[in-house]
């Protein structure tokens, strides 16, 4: 299943993409006709329910699909404004820095390839959805950059998680564009401010449930800017694979359902070109990850 959050006339809702991804099954609409089991009011609340949420969704969809008036549960994609699947995360988004060897080199040299996982975070207020507009913040930065990334959504609480059990704690996977103000990043000698301006974390369009992804370490990832391919790689090139990231993060720190971990970006970011090719107003960034989806946003 692929879960989405969206608004219609300003009212936020959530649902499941149809098998051909041509419409959305609106879960709250089904709930109005189907009283049991009870569905939560948001996708985040559902993720916190654990496996019982998936069972409830499957039952609700089966009910909805067999009703004579099932068309009332179907929402056309043209009618919705996509929100991020988790529109307002409960915590900062956790991000892995320099998790592709070629990206570490393009921003430095062989000496910049990390031997231990590098982590930073982005504020929850950075999050916008698919087709949302990225604020160029021209009064703050002149070096706006993109970073296409696979993101992990935690579905099961854990602390000191063993690496061989780490993927059992994943609810699903989504796409993140780790927008960065490179000049702020350099000026402040750390990542948080340059990564945390409003709209700097486009996310979505959906969360693909973990059961649909056989191996998250074997997914093609491509980023284009105005139709030009800038990043093209595969998650098999991770320096630190997802199970190791989860295990390391959980050492002494509890990971909770709804936590989001961005896994790093491959080479091809704007700063890596000579001369750099930073984003400007009107640019469109499209990130596609195999079996996950396509995240599209423009700079306003």
Q: Are residues 76 and 94 in the same domain?
A: no
What is the pLDDT, as a whole number, of residue 38?
85
> Structurally, how many domains does the chain consist of?
2
Q: Is residue 249 located within the same domain as residue 262? A: yes
Domain boundary among 81, 116, 135: 81
Q: How far apart (Å, rounded) are the C-alpha atoms in residues 107 and 88?
A: 31
Residues 173 and 251 in one domain: yes
Give the other-Cβ count within 10 Å of 295's Cβ: 28
Say yes or no: 53 and 130 in one domain. no
Say if residue 293 is in the same domain as residue 207. yes
Strands 11-17 and 2-8: antiparallel
Segment-wise mean pLDDT, segments of 10 residues, the chain, 300 residues: 96 96 95 83 96 94 92 95 98 97 92 94 98 98 98 98 98 98 95 98 98 98 98 98 98 98 98 97 98 98
Same domain, 135 and 184: yes
Please check whether residues 207 and 69 belong to one and the same domain: no
- Closest C-alpha to 128, from 20, 21, 201, 207: 201
Domain boundary pick from 55, 81, 107 = 81
Q: Distance between CA 7 and CA 14 in Å, rounded?
A: 8
> Could you list the residue range(s) of the whole structural domain that residue 36 is in?
2-81
Please give the pLDDT value at position 131.
Answer: 98
Q: For the residues of the chain, what is the DSSP string, one character each?
A: -EEEEEEETTEEEEEEE-TTSSEEEEHHHHHHH--SSPPPSSHHHHHHHTHHHHHHHHHHHHHHHTSTTGGGGEEEGGG-EEEPSSSS-SSPEEEEES-BHHHHHHTS-GGGS-SS-EEEEE-GGGEE-TTPEEP--TTT-S-EE--EEEEEEE-S-BSS--GGGGGGGEEEEEEEE--EEHHHHHHHTSSHHHH-STT-EEEEEEEEEGGG-S-TTS-EEEEEETTEEEEEEEGGGBSS-HHHHHHHHTSSS-B-TT-EEE----S--GGGSSS-----TT-EEEEEETTTEEEEEEE-
The predicted pLDDT at position 108 comes to: 87
Give Cα separations from 146 to 46, 216, 222 (angstroms): 30, 22, 12
pLDDT of residue 35: 73
State the CATH number of the domain containing residue 276.
Answer: 3.90.850.10
| Last residue of one domain, picked from the residues 41, 62, 81 | 81
Q: Are residues 149 and 279 in the same domain?
A: yes
> Could you tell me the CA-to-CA distances from 298 to 128, 218, 224 in Å, in that order?
12, 28, 12
Asked whether residue 56 falls in the same domain as residue 91, the answer is no
pLDDT at 34: 81
Residues 101, 70, single domain; the answer is no
Q: What is the pLDDT of residue 201?
A: 99
Same domain for 69 and 90?
no
Contact in structure between 55 and 1 (CB atoms under 8 Å)? no
Same domain as 116, residue 21: no
pLDDT in the model for residue 33: 87
Q: What pLDDT digit, counting tens, does each position of 44-91 carry?
A: 999 999 999 999 999 999 999 999 889 999 999 999 999 999 999 999
């Amino acid at each position: 299943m692929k879960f989405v959050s969206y608004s219609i006339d300003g009212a936020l809702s959530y649902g499941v993409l149809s098998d051909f991804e041509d419409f959305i099954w609106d879960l709250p609409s089904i709930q109005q006709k189907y009283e049991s089991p009870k569905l939560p009011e948001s996708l985040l609340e559902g993720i916190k329910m654990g496996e019982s949420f998936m069972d409830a969704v499957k039952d609700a969809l089966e009910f909805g699909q067999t009703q004579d008036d099932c068309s009332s549960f179907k929402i056309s994609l043209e009618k919705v404004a996509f929100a991020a699947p988790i529109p307002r995360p409960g915590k900062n988004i956790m991000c892995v820095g320099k998790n592709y060897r070629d990206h570490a080199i393009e921003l430095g040299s062989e000496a910049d390839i990390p031997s231990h996982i590098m982590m930073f975070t982005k504020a929850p207020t950075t999050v916008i959805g698919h087709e949302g507009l990225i604020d160029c913040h021209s009064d703050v930065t002149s070096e706006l950059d993109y970073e296409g990334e696979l993101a992990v959504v935690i579905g099961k609480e854990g602390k000191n998680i063993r690496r061989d059990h780490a993927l059992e704690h994943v609810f699903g996977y989504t796409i993140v564009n780790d927008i960065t103000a490179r000049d702020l990043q350099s000026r402040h000698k750390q990542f948080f401010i340059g990564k945390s301006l409003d709209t700097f974390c486009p996310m979505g369009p959906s969360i693909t449930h973990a059961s649909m992804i056989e191996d998250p370490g074997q997914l093609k990832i491509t980023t284009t800017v105005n139709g030009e391919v800038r990043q093209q790689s595969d998650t098999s090139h991770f320096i630190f694979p997802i199970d190791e990231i989860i295990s390391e993060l959980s050492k002494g720190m509890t990971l909770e359902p709804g936590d989001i971990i961005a896994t790093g970006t491959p080479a091809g970011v704007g700063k890596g070109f000579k001369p750099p090719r930073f984003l400007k107003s009107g640019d469109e960034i499209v990130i596609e990850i195999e079996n996950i989806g396509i995240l599209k946003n423009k700079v306003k």
